[in-house]
Amino acid sequence: MVYSLTPFARLWCSLHGDDTLKSALITGITGQDGSYLAEFLVSKGYRVYGMVRRSSSANLSRVHHLHDRIELVFGDLLDQNSLVGLIESVGPDEVYNLAAQSFIPTSWSQPVLTGDFTGLGVARMLEAIRTVDPGVRFYQASTSEMFGKVNAPPQNESTPLNPCTPYGAAKAYGHFLTVNYRETYGMYACSGILFNHESPRRALEFVTRKITHAVARIKHGLQDKLKLGSMDARRDWGFAGDYVRAMWAMLQQEEPEEFVVATGESHSVAEFVERAFSHAGLAWEDHVEIDDQLIRRTELELLVGDASKAREKLGWEPAVDFEGLVDLMVDADLEVVEAETSGAGSPHSS
């Protein structure tokens, strides 16, 4: 059943400070962040609706453990009517737009589709909210990739955007549109400019998860080599479970604003590799090979975030540091591979 919160009910709740009746619509709930955000909002007493697109086979492994606490509703960022229908039927207080084509190499091979999902998808959702209920609070998942080629670290909310990938460019479009709708229509629309954040639920094509999953397979004797592009590439990596708290906090402010969310620390792929292998009791030199074919066209060496504003205004602090993140990802992948090899099936994502 789909519940809807009428404008009267929303007013009643806000007058009585009653958060338990709040409802949120999350696009991209089947992704890494969507699953952590759903857990977090459920723990806050929200009614959580997750938008999923039609697929010939179920893709719900990251939210399977929440099946009796969230409601899945069909929609697609490529389809305007489906978004309008969802805003009407769900009547959310808050919309978190996390859906996107988020893998940079795919944005080079499919730049048009990436623009459609990741850029125009934001326009479709903003239009749906504006026409059905402009009082809905809107969060847009912006990214540090919008900074692109920067002159110097760190980057904050005032750093000019200079994207250098189709993904970054599409995200910059969505980012500016979110600002435009706020300024032009007075909507509560804001973007979180999030630096890289990882977890055991990260897709396998991303370098962090590729490493930790390979470490687990090597430990279990299922493979011997791990091929990587540049080991020198550097990133500001945080834990996804920490970052979704900042998304929610942004929608609880009196005024909508942009916030950078980051750890402020830069680590290389080499550091990640060293920590991951040693955590599993392995020597990375015995297993890692450099493959020039995997080197990215544009490497962004200087991306490091300054999250002072989020720390001050949102009271946000990350709970997991770099070493803790690598360790928890390795431990989770060791468990996953162990379960696969023993025939027990995948344990629930942690």
Footprint of ligand NAP (CB under 6 A): 27-28, 30-34, 53, 55, 59, 76-78, 98-102, 117, 141, 143, 194, 196-197, 203
- Minimum CB separation from ligand NAP for residue 59, in Å? 5
Nearer Cβ to ligand NAP (33/242): 33
Please, are residues 164 and 177 in contact by the beta-carbon 8 Å criterion?
no
Please identify every residue annotated as catalytic.
143, 145, 167
Nearer to ligand NAP, 5 or 246 (CB): 246
Complex with ligand NAP: residue 143 or 263, whichever CB lies closer: 143
Q: Is 128 helix (H, G, I), strand (E, B) or coil?
A: helix
* Nearest distance from C-beta of residue 184 to ligand NAP, angstroms: 23
- Write down the least CB distance from residue 30 to ligand NAP, Å: 4
Cα–Cα nearest to 92, from 73, 78, 79: 73
- Shortest CB 142 distance to ligand NAP, Å: 7
Nearer to ligand NAP, 63 or 280 (CB): 63
**Distant-in-sequence, close-in-space partners of 290: CB < 8 Å, separation ≥ 6:** 227, 228, 229, 230, 231
Residue 46 is which amino acid? Y
- If the CB atoms of residues 117 and 188 are measured against ligand NAP, the closer one turns out to be 117
**Whats the size of the chain, residue-wise?**
350
Of 208, 195, 219, 213, nearest to 269 (Cα)? 208
Shortest Cβ 36–ligand NAP spacing (Å):
8
Q: Which is nearer to ligand NAP, 117 or 284 (CB)?
A: 117
| Residues contacting residue 235 through CB under 8 Å, at least 6 positions apart | 195, 196, 266, 267, 269, 303
CA angle centred on 56, ends 50 and 61, rounded to 5°: 50
Residue nearest to ligand NAP (CB): 31
Taking CA atoms, 219 is separated from 210, 225, 284, 286, in Å, by: 14, 11, 11, 12
Residue 256 has phi, psi (to 5 degrees) of -75, 140
Nearer to ligand NAP, 84 or 280 (CB): 84
CB of 314 to ligand NAP, least distance (A): 17
Instruction: Give the span between the Cα atoms of 13 and 263, in whole angstroms.
Output: 35
Largest CA distance in the chain: 64
Nearest to 231 by CA among 266, 193, 200, 272: 272
- In whole angstroms, the minimum distance from the beta carbon of 28 to ligand NAP comes to 3
- Tell me the pairing of strands 197-198 and 226-228: unpaired
- DSSP state, residue 145: G
